[in-house]
Amino acid sequence: MPRRQQRRPVSRKGAPRAPREDTGALDASARRVLAAHGGDPRRLEALVRDLQQLRDEADRMAFEEPSPDALREYRRASRELAEAQRAFALATGT
């Protein structure tokens, strides 16, 4: 009796999936931001607004003059914004 052929897993080509976000690291960073700003929701909200402006500026610069440094700056600004947004959510309980 011939051996039965095993199925191979299907490899999906196409658009790559978004990288999974490390929520543990994000939460730890958000707690550091929360502690640094005393847990005051108004200060955190102002920080989020400032970081949104910085991220938008980094995005504009990276679009106008693409370079590894511009991409690095955009990613740093995005990470800091995500941390501040998470800290604000922790402070307000949302």
What confidence score (pLDDT) does residue 13 get?
Answer: 67
Using pLDDT thresholds of 50, 70 and 90, give the confidence band for residue 7. confident
Instruction: Confirm whether 75 is domain-assigned.
Output: yes
Q: Is the pLDDT of residue 11 over 90?
A: no
Instruction: Confirm whether 15 is domain-assigned.
Output: no
> Which residues neighbour 85 within 8 Å (Cβ) at sequence distance 6 or greater?
48
Instruction: Confirm whether 17 is domain-assigned.
Output: no
Q: Is the pLDDT of residue 18 over 70?
A: no
Total domain count for the chain?
Answer: 1
Using pLDDT thresholds of 50, 70 and 90, give the confidence band for residue 77. very high
Instruction: Confirm whether 78 is domain-assigned.
Output: yes
Quickly tell me which residue has 């679009």 as its tokens: 63
Q: What is the pTM of this model?
A: 0.74
Centre a 10 Å sphere on the Cβ of residue 91 and count the other Cβ atoms it contains: 20
Instruction: Confirm whether 39 is domain-assigned.
Output: yes
> Which residues neighbour 18 within 8 Å (Cβ) at sequence distance 6 or greater?
none
Average pLDDT over residues 41-61: 96
- Residue 19 φ then ψ, to 5°: -65, 140
**Domain span holding position 50:** 25-92
Instruction: Confirm whether 45 is domain-assigned.
Output: yes
Average pLDDT over residues 1-12: 68
